Structure 1
């Protein structure tokens, strides 16, 4: 029987901690949106090797931003039940190790984009990282303005992908940026509603309309979700995709909007949770529908 030594266990624990620090699923979703923008903007034959490098670079830069966020919020994460077991609050990784990790994967990510894309894509990715890590993160303890600021880097991935494919920012690029930008508001606020108790412990102030779990906040969530209906039709209107995706996106938008009425009715955590999961489902379905309609 083979015995696993303490050193092996320690190494595996470190690897697992570095993996957790990267928040793989969130970084993957960012990379997916980046790839979506690239495929939507690409004309002619798709260069899949170029596509792979773009997605990898976007994934690593997203991971870098997330790690910086966790370094900044280490002490606050200790106060919240949902974050207290992360690698930094538990001491499984030191701040120095996290900083070194962020520098390494950040340099690799920016290096890949510089090598494989264009200057504008690299500049936009730098802006995205700065806004998320050094503006949005500290603003979370200031007020709901943080959601507006955070929605910008949150919506930049598809724009980055488009710019990587075309080399320019066009009205089509701004449309896909706008859809993801508006989507951030019901998404962020639903999460803030569900995690309100934890967020208050850390001093995070993300809910609108006085920061309360009430009808006013629910109405704000409903209004921004409503905006997604006309925005979702713009790609079809401008000929970027066909009418089929427009129909699918409208159906998804109506179903997403319907969830907000339940929240307006009962102001419950359960209804907010449904909106949160609905936002997770809405965006990838919409993006896949656009891609299938174009390809």
Structure 2
């Protein structure tokens, strides 16, 4: 396996790209909020800085969980468990990426962007990662840094120190609420594997009606949350219609999981969540 492939696994390249996309959409919306033309150089720095911070977060996570990753099928082939990367190399790479990413966000965008990037990294590595073996509450903690990217993108478009406006808070809220059914669907599918490492990430730690009920509840909460842009004049009826349709389909998938508790239903919900977020965010951008 090539060194590039190892680094791609170490930084979770595809996941990092998805995270950066939400930040880029937030930045584009921020430019419109402030009535400025798109700064493509700024977009480039945001994407680079965001990718470095996200990759560093994933890297530190893998350093901390390297012995646990050996126990799980889905993570057993990562470079650290397989010995293709040393702990010292991993720490150096993650540290350089994290420091460079925060610097880029703070220097080329604004100081508040750098602070948000650093906050996301610290919450993910120092709070979410160790809590995964302790309590299902880890999902709530992990949703905080997970929802920062679109907010960070919007803030990056502001002048001076940086500003967190209502649109940034709404973007944060939508992505925050989306993460619960999204991550619990993943945890449902991978629960047997997670248990090998002692991770108990489902609400009740089991694939049962109570866990599925919470998936449904948060899927319901996601619908009014995703309509906040309409309520605060951030979008029109067409965008709201797209968002409502996506939320309804998402809820139907969650109800199917509650009905049968099948892994196949959780897989459909998981893939549906991958489609939901970019579609809704792009609809918000187009209709903003």
TM-score under structure 2 length normalisation: 0.96
* Aligned mate of 1:168, from 153, 163, 168: 163
Q: Secondary structure at the match of 2:233?
A: coil
Look up the match of 2:16.
27
Q: Where does 1:211-226 land on structure 2 (aligned, <5 Å)? A: 211-226=205-220
- Number of aligned residue pairs: give it: 282
How far has the Cα of 1:111 moved from its partner?
A: 2.1
* Aligned mate of 2:62, from 49, 70, 73: 70
Contact in 2 for aligned 1:14/1:93 (Cα 8 Å):
no
* Aligned mate of 2:248, from 254, 259, 263: 254
Contact in 1 for aligned 2:239/2:283 (Cα 8 Å):
yes
Aligned CA RMSD, in angstroms, stands at 1.1
How far apart, in 2, do the equivalents of 1:172 and 1:269 lie? 36
* Aligned mate of 2:104, from 112, 118, 121: 112
Q: Where does 1:139-218 land on structure 2 (aligned, <5 Å)? A: 139-166=131-158, 167-208=162-203, 210-218=204-212
How far has the Cα of 1:168 moved from its partner?
A: 0.9
Q: Secondary structure at the match of 1:89?
A: coil
Deviations 1:195-221 (A, max 9, x none): 01011110011110x211011111100
How far has the Cα of 1:121 moved from its partner?
A: 1.1
Q: Secondary structure at the match of 2:81?
A: helix
How far apart, in 2, do the equivalents of 1:75 and 1:272 lie? 28
How far has the Cα of 1:170 moved from its partner?
A: 1.6
Deviations 1:141-169 (A, max 9, x none): 00111000000000000110111112211
Look up the match of 1:3.
none
Q: Secondary structure at the match of 2:80?
A: helix
For structure 1, the 5+ residue unaligned runs are 1-11
How far apart, in 2, do the equivalents of 1:56 and 1:249 lie? 29
Q: Which moved more, 1:61-70 or 1:169-178?
A: 169-178
Q: Secondary structure at the match of 2:157?
A: helix
How far apart, in 2, do the equivalents of 1:264 and 1:192 lie? 15
For structure 2, the 5+ residue unaligned runs are none
Look up the match of 1:101.
93
TM-score under structure 1 length normalisation: 0.93
Look up the match of 1:57.
49
Look up the match of 2:76.
84
